[in-house]
Structure 1
Amino acid sequence: MVALNPPVCDFGRPAVDFDLPGVDGKRHTLASCRGPNGLLVMFICNHCPYVKAIIDRLIRDCRDLDAQGIGCVAIMSNDITAYPEDSPESMARWAAELAFPFPYLYDEIQAVARAYGAVCTPDFFGYNAKLELQYRGRLDASGRNPGPADARRELHEAMCEVARSGNGPREQIASIGCSIKWQI
């Protein structure tokens, strides 16, 4: 397992459209997921220790961001042949167990992850109301283990700023996580 950091934020880069199946049995698109003040696109998976370390905080923050008019969506793009723990059935079970407040989508051919330039799980892309990229940082100081209980909520603060002003913070610390498991 290799830990990777995504590149810094490419401010203003437009969100890429998608149309993917969710674990809820529905199809979801960029338009159906966005909120009036923006959108947080999250690349996550079930098996990654970095995602497991933050999932409770991520759920909390997404619930809070919904009240700020920020839509949230999670996309799983890993190769499930190599990582069956990330299968759509396992995704559905995990989303139900944790009561995900956002759609959890399966990117079977990995085209969406490639179009976004996702490199790891978790990898966050925060967009403003015009769907221009404003945040490409981490959730908080957590790594393979949860950070301290009082860790600064970096992603939450950034997306609240995006909801208010349309702009993300200029200083951002990259997320860290497991590499996306690309199909051969």
Structure 2
Amino acid sequence: MAVSPPVCDFGAPWHEFALQGTDGRKHGLADVAGARGTLVMFICNHCPYVQSIIDRIVRDATQMQAAGIGVAAISANDVQEYPQDGPEQMRIFAQKHGFTFPYLYDDTQCVARAYGAECTPDFFGYNASGELQYRGRFDASTRMAAPVDARPELLEAMLLIAETGKGPERQTPSMGCSIKWKTA
């Protein structure tokens, strides 16, 4: 069942983390933050919503990074129930798609909970001061990729944030598979 997170809580602070990456290193917020903004996205390997846009995510992340925006992806799914989202499979997924940004595993799910992540993909765009300015969709894609000429909403928002420190007032929430939470 598709889940759609709430709209942007403008100005909400980002949250510190120290998570293991597919590169074998731990990455913290200071390691991934960009001088002009930061995108923290929650994704996973198996979600059809992510799979339909992953190559576009990588393409746009490269443009964001060139504009001084830091980018990180985090997977928080329960790998006992969804082993295809485990760290080794994440490494393979990141290599296959040519990630230019860290792909981190949130084993305890504490980071996903702190951010309020609800689905994959779920995008959190921050300005250089660490204030949330975008929590919208990537583009008009769903389980199927939108046409190649679809408006790149996330990219446009992040470039606006890098330029002005503010995100767009109107944002369409992302949609995707629910985060696969661990049972108590």
State TM-score, norm by structure 1. Answer: 0.99
TM-aligned CA deviation for residue 178 of structure 1: 0.1
Task: Measure the CA separation in 1 of the matches of 2:5 and 2:28.
Answer: 24
Equivalence for 2:38 = 39
Aligned amino acid, residue 121 of structure 2: P
Q: Note the 1:85-164 alignment, pairs <5 A.
A: 85-164=84-163
Q: Aligned-residue CA RMSD in angstroms? A: 0.4
Task: Measure the CA separation in 1 of the matches of 2:148 and 2:126.
Answer: 27
What is the aligned-residue identity percentage?
60
Equivalence for 1:19 = 18
Work out whether 1:48 is the aligned partner of 2:47: yes
Equivalence for 1:78 = 77
Deviations 1:129-180 (A, max 9, x none): 0010000000000000000110000000000000000000000000000000
Task: Measure the CA separation in 1 of the matches of 2:49 and 2:37.
Answer: 25
Which secondary structure does the structure 1 equivalent of 2:53 belong to? helix
Task: Measure the CA separation in 2 of the matches of 1:56 and 1:130.
Answer: 29
Structure 2, unmatched stretches of 5+, are: none
State TM-score, norm by structure 2. Answer: 0.99
Structure 1 moving runs of 4+ over 6 Å: none
Equivalence for 1:30 = 29
Deviations 1:67-95 (A, max 9, x none): 11100000000000100100100000111
TM-aligned CA deviation for residue 98 of structure 1: 1.2
Structure 1, unmatched stretches of 5+, are: none
